[in-house]
Each structure stands twice: as C-alpha cells, then as structure tokens.
Amino acid sequence: MDSHNVRRDFRKVTKAAGLGEPRVPKELRTSFVSLMSNGGVSVEEIARLFVYNATPTTETIYRRELRPVITTGAEIMDQMFVS
C-alpha cells in the first residue's frame, strides 16, 4: 500500500473510534515498544520486531517502562508502612 493511503485509512479508523483525526500510524511506535517490553519481551527482540536493529535507540527513545516504575514505587511504600 502507498503510505498516503495507509495514513488516510488510519485517520478514518481513529476518527471513527473517537480518537481524533490527526493521528498517524508512526504514533504507535512507542506504544508497541512499551507494551512489548511490559509483556516481558527483551529489548533485543523488540528491536528485531521493530525492524530498528539499534537496541539503544529502541530502549531510550521508544520504550516507556510501565511496570517497573509502579512496582518500585509500591515496594517502597510497603517498606515505609510495614517498618
């Protein structure tokens, strides 16, 4: 498919879903990488799936840690209240 057609069709889908029309498929990169990481997939494997073989770029730019931040905060709070 032509990239223009992909973007046009993607905007139709996001508009119909109530997400707004100015969305583009590349906005899904961070979501894809973050969700895969949260699911336990290694950064190296994500980089291969992402067709962006630079692991440091995948890790520092696209991956947003979801679970470790929450888990660490919860563990600290537990220690504060149990002690």
Q: What is the pLDDT along the chain (83 residues), one digit of tens a residue?
A: 788 888 888 888 888 888 877 777 777 777 777 788 778 888 788 787 776 666 666 666 666 665 555 677 777 778 888 76
Question: Cα separation of 68 and 71, whole Å?
Answer: 5
- In which domain, by residue range, is 39 found? 3-82
Instruction: List the alpha helices (DSSP H) in the chain.
Output: 3-16, 28-38, 43-49, 55-57, 67-82
Question: Cα separation of 28 and 39, whole Å?
Answer: 16
Number of domains in the chain: 1
Q: Looking at residue 26, what DSSP letter applies? A: G
pTM score over 0.85: no
- Three-state DSSP state, 14: helix
Number of Cβ within a 10 Å radius of residue 50: 19
